[in-house]
Chain A
Amino acid sequence: DAGVTQSPTHLIKTRGQHVTLRCSPISGHKSVSWYQQVLGQGPQFIFQYYEKEERGRGNFPDRFSARQFPNYSSELNVNALLLGDSALYLCASSLIAGAYNEQFFGPGTRLTVL
């Protein structure tokens, strides 16, 4: 069975640009969570989506937005990129929403902002 997939693998952008990251969850999983991980730190929670609705939001600015599609795939959008947005962006899928459920991560998208 395919695991969580993310695209692209790597991305280089310049300050002020916009970026869209994509994620497809494990088949049968209906919830997707997005995390940002900076080198040397644990993942920071950005969003959780379930059944196309936002169920949780972390402490990130409004430049960060996301959506989930009817097939449960998801996009994370970041506007007006800053140098500090450079990080590994991780998507995790789980059967249903909630922080009580096991989450399985995709390979991540490494974003570099120059």
Chain B
Amino acid sequence: QKEVEQNSGPLSVPEGAIASLNCTYSDRVSQSFFWYRQYSGKSPELIMSIYSNGDKEDGRFTAQLNKASQYVSLLIRDSQPSDSATYLCAVNRSNYQLIWGAGTKLIIKP
């Protein structure tokens, strides 16, 4: 079992719809969770961090964390073609190390 798992996709969503990206992790003691967006050939760009159970909203993005189920998700409302990218989930393994999923490729269809 991988420490951080994401569906590789591609996930195809119509423009204007809600895109839902999911991530599961194996270490119950993990405390910090991050979503990054990575365009092809570029470096990861931080979207949001979340540390507590529940929802955290930032503009069109909402991160959801459920530590009991070891599950973190990212919702993108009103999806735009510019949202087409690979979305990476990162979870802390220790005080200093982040473990990353392989990413979900999201395609927004106009």
User: Contact between A40 and B44 (Cβ–Cβ < 8 Å)?
Assistant: no
Q: Can you name the residue of chain B whose Cβ is closest to the Cβ of A101?
A: B32
Q: Please name all residues of chain B whose beta carbon is closer than 8 Å to the beta carbon of A58 when the two chains form the complex.
A: 97
Given contacts A42-B90, A42-B102, A100-B32, contact A105 B95 (CB under 8 A): no
Interface residues on chain B, size class: 20 to 34
If over half of A's interface residues share one DSSP class (helix, strand or loop), that class is named, otherwise mixed; here it is loop
Interface residues on chain A, size class: 20 to 34
Give Cα A40 to B43, complex, Å. 13
User: Contact between A56 and B100 (Cβ–Cβ < 8 Å)?
Assistant: no
User: Contact between A44 and B100 (Cβ–Cβ < 8 Å)?
Assistant: yes
Q: Which A residues between 84 and 104 are near B, CB-CB below 8 angstroms?
A: 88, 90, 97-100, 102-104
A95 to chain B, nearest CB (A): 13
A-B interface contact total, Cβ < 8 Å = 64
Give Cα A105 to B13, complex, Å. 27
Q: Which A residues between 27 and 64 are near B, CB-CB below 8 angstroms?
A: 33, 40-45, 48, 55-56, 58
Give Cα A98 to B93, complex, Å. 11
Contact residues of B with A, CB < 8 Å? 4, 31-32, 34, 36, 42-46, 49, 51, 88, 90, 92-103
For this complex, 15 residue pairs linking A to B, each with C-beta atoms less than 8 Å apart, are A42-B102, A42-B103, A43-B88, A43-B90, A45-B98, A48-B96, A56-B96, A58-B97, A99-B92, A99-B97, A102-B46, A102-B49, A103-B98, A107-B42, A108-B43
